[in-house]
Amino acid sequence: MKRVAVLGVTGSIGRQALEIVESHPELELAAAASGSQPIDGLAPLTQVGGDLTELLDRTEPDVVLNAVVGFAGLPATLWALERGVTLALANKESLVAAGELALQARERGGGLLLPVDSEHSAAFQCLEGRSTEQVDSLVLTASGGPFRGRTRDELEDVTPDEALAHPTWRMGPKITVDSASLANKGLELLEAHFLFGLPYERIEVVLQPTSVVHALVRFRDGAALAHLGYPDMRVPISFALTYPERAATPIPPLDFSQGLVLEFEPPDLETFPLLAVARGAGEQGGTFPCAFNAANEVAVAAFLGGKLPFLGIAATVEDTLTEVDGAPARDLADLLEADAEARRLAEKGMKVA
Ligand SMILES: NC(=O)c1ccc[n+]([C@@H]2O[C@H](COP(=O)([O-])OP(=O)(O)OC[C@H]3O[C@@H](n4cnc5c(N)ncnc54)[C@H](OP(=O)(O)O)[C@@H]3O)[C@@H](O)[C@H]2O)c1
């Protein structure tokens, strides 16, 4: 029996995680948390907002599924990593922001860190049991989002509703906007670096518009392993929660009877600069990834609130990164300060409508 704490239970990932937990008798929902929506009676222990580590202390779960959106997920990520409690991580922002601090906590705790992000779950499965010396490079796939193929001019006046109309995935609003700007792929590049210990030059991003190929790993002997499946987050959620058993899910296997064409194309880094900006932040290291994430969160919230044009998201993040010092965080207090400073700069520098 695995006792699972689902954080962000009211969200897109959280609701799908509940479905997986309910369908497996060996999984027990021990605790649940949301940010503001009421969840009384959903689990034996619940918490709405506040410091989620208090809920985790009371629960002592076997697995923490962190599906909180944004930097707010950080304390729970560090709580699980520090204690060696299995962490099923959807909240990529916390790993991106904490970077080295999170890796040090994982080292001390010695527990499992299982990615829930579909690309990273896929890469984890392609890599499993193989040393990184055997790896030539990792390839993360992206759908390209709703604005794939558009020019910069065509993005001047796009609305939040247009950005929220993702072609292949149904997700929460923040990650959907991140997918439209390619900031999500930037966050995933940073996440992959920290998860798999690969340098940035060995992590590539390619567009695969139908989101059937989730990731590929190229090995040094010329072979490449790919992970395929219909785009459905219940697969990586189930993989992480039932690891290493790989329990059954209701998702149908790939059907080739109607033919299946897989097309790949390079991302347009000029129209969607945030992928390259994230790569630059990763290469600079220190708290640059944390600042990238913080400025992006501020800008996405402003865009969704109708206060910032879509192209203003990238401009805000770029401007913020030129102003932060990016000094490495020695501890959580340093990291919180770096996040707060980047938010202040982003708020101040935003060219609001
Ligand atoms: N959705 C996907 O398919 C997908 C795929 C890959 C990765 N991810 C990652 O998974 C995470 C969640 O994404 P999502 O799409 O599920 O987001 P979402 O639908 O917006 O849900 C976010 C969840 O976080 C909770 N929350 C927000 N602030 C909180 C706080 N301060 N304390 C506690 N809980 C808080 C929300 O509670 P309230 O409802 O009460 O506000 C909600 O339950 C993100 O990091 C995202 O990048 C998502």
Q: Is the pLDDT of residue 3 over 70?
A: yes
Contacts of 109 (CB under 8 A, 6+ apart): 80, 81, 82, 83, 84, 85
CA distance 291 to 69: 16
Look over the chain and give the mean of its residue pLDDT values, rounded to a whole number: 97
Mean pLDDT of 85-93: 98
- Ligand 1 site, residue 50, Cβ cutoff 6 A: no
- Strands 27-34 and 45-48 come out as parallel
Assess whether the C-beta atom of 92 lies below 6 angstroms from ligand 1. Answer: yes
Per-residue pLDDT band for 129 (boundaries 50, 70, 90) equals confident
Closest listed residue to residue 118, CA positions, set 180, 192, 178, 63: 192
- Residue-level pLDDT at 152: 96
3-state secondary structure of 66: strand
Q: Which atom of ligand 1 is nearest to the CA of 47?
A: 33
pLDDT in tens, 318-328: 999 999 999 99
Distance of CA 197 from the midpoint of ligand 1 (Å): 26
- Considering the chain, what percentage of its residues have pLDDT values greater than 70? 100
Q: Which two tokens stand for residue 135?
A: 């790896």
Which residue, by CA, sits nearest to atom 2 of ligand 1?
Answer: 171
Examine the pLDDT at 353 and tell me if it is beyond 90: no
Strands of the 224-228 sheet, one edge to the other: 203-207, 135-142, 213-219, 224-228
Q: Please give the DSSP secondary-structure letter assigned to residue 90.
A: -
Q: What is the pTM of this model?
A: 0.98
How far apart, in whole angstroms, are the C-alpha atoms of residue 309 and residue 159?
Answer: 8
Q: Measured from the CB, is residue 166 less than 6 Å from ligand 1?
A: no
pLDDT score of 20: 98
Q: Which pLDDT value is given to residue 261?
A: 92
pLDDT at res. 169: 87
Rounded CA-CA distance 230/311 in Å is 31
**CA-proximal residue: ligand 1, atom 39 (nearest):** 10
Mutate to test the pocket of ligand 1, among 10, 56, 68 (most ligand atoms within 8 A of CB): 68
CA atoms within 13 A on the CB side of 163: 30
DSSP state of 265: B
Nearest to 81 by CA among 129, 56, 43, 113: 113
Ligand 1 neighbourhood includes 339 CB (under 6 angstroms): no
Q: How far is CA 84 from CA 199, 229, 235, 306, in A?
A: 25, 30, 24, 42
Could you report the per-residue pLDDT of 147-205, keeping only the tens digit for each?
999 999 999 999 999 999 999 989 999 999 999 999 999 999 999 999 999 999 999 99
Whether 12 lines ligand 1, by a CB cut-off of 6 Å, is yes
Ligand 1 atom nearest 233 alpha carbon: 3
The response to whether residue 231 sits with its C-beta less than 6 Å from ligand 1 reads: no
Determine if ligand 1 sits within 6 Å of the CB of residue 341.
no
Pick the atom of ligand 1 nearest to 175's CA.
Answer: 47
pLDDT in tens, 219-228: 999 999 999 9
Residues 241-295 pLDDT 10s: 999 999 999 999 999 998 999 999 999 999 999 999 999 999 999 999 999 999 9
Measured in Å, residue 224 CA sits from the centre of ligand 1 at 33
- CB of 285 closer than 6 angstroms to any ligand 1 atom: no
